[in-house]
A and B are shown apart, each in its own frame.
Chain A
Amino acid sequence: NAGVTQTPKFQVLKTGQSMTLQCAQDMNHEYMSWYRQDPGMGLRLIHYSVGAGITDQGEVPNGYNVSRSTTEDFPLRLLSAAPSQTSVYFCASSSREPGWDTEAFFGQGTRLTVV
C-alpha cells in the first residue's frame, strides 16, 4: 500500500547543478502536484498536473520544470539549483483538483539543500 513515493529523501546540491526529484503514486489519481515547504510560509504550490500530458504553473514555478508522461509519475526538475531553492519538497496526489471535497495524499518529502 505505497501511496505516494518520493525519492530521494535527502539531497545536497551545489549551486548551478541540476537534478530531478521523483514522485510516483499507485492510486490512479489524475491530479498531482508539487509543493515546497519553508518555515513560516506553509506549503506553496510549484506546479501541478490534471492528467497525463497536462501540466500548469502554480504559485512559485520559477526555476522548476515538470512533465507528466504517465498517470503514475510526476517528476520535478531543477534546472540550475540556487540557494533559494533550499527547502523541503512534497509531492501530492488526489482524485480530483484541490478545492473540492477530496483530500490530498502526500509523499514523505525530499529535503534539498543547495550550497
Chain B
Amino acid sequence: AQSVTQLGSHVSVSEGALVLLRCNYSSSVPPYLFWYVQYPNQGLQLLLKYTTGATLVKGINGFEAEFKKSETSFHLTKPSAHMSDAAEYFCAGGYQKVTFGTGTKLQVIP
C-alpha cells in the first residue's frame, strides 16, 4: 500500500528563517508527488508537483522541493519565511491513486 507521511503537525519559524516541511512517501513505484497550501478558510491550491525529470522542483511563492528516491522524501523548503507563508501545507502523492498527508501548520513569528 502506498502512503504519504508528514512529520510535524506544527512548525514555527521566525520571519526570514529557512522553512523546511518534511514529507516521506511509501511506494514500490516512484510516485507523482504534490505540495498544496491551504490558507485559512480557503481550499487547497497547488504549490508544486513532481512528475518525472528534474528532481528539484520549483513552485510558487519561492517554495521548492526535492525528490530523493534514496530517502523516499519530498521535503518542501523556502530560504526565507515571510509572514504571508503562514498556512497549512499538505503533501500528497501516489501512483494510480493519491493519498494526502495529515498536514503541517506553519507559523511565522515576526
For B102, the closest partner residue in chain A by CB is: A42
Q: A41-B102, A42-B101 are in contact. Are A108 and B42 (CB under 8 A)?
A: yes
Could you tell me which residues of chain A, from 28 to 71, have a CB within 8 Å of some CB in chain B?
35, 40-44
A: interface residue count bin: 20 to 34
Residues of B within 8 A of A (CB): 9, 32, 34, 36, 41-46, 49, 51-52, 90, 92, 94-98, 100-103
CB distance from B48 to the nearest CB of A (A): 9
* Interfacial residues, chain A to chain B (CB-CB below 8 A): 4, 35, 40-44, 90, 92, 97-101, 103-104, 106-109
- A/B pair count, beta carbons within 8 Å: 51
> Considering the chains assembled together, what is the distance between the CA atoms of A92 and B32 in angstroms?
18
Q: B51 near A101 (CB under 8 angstroms)?
A: yes
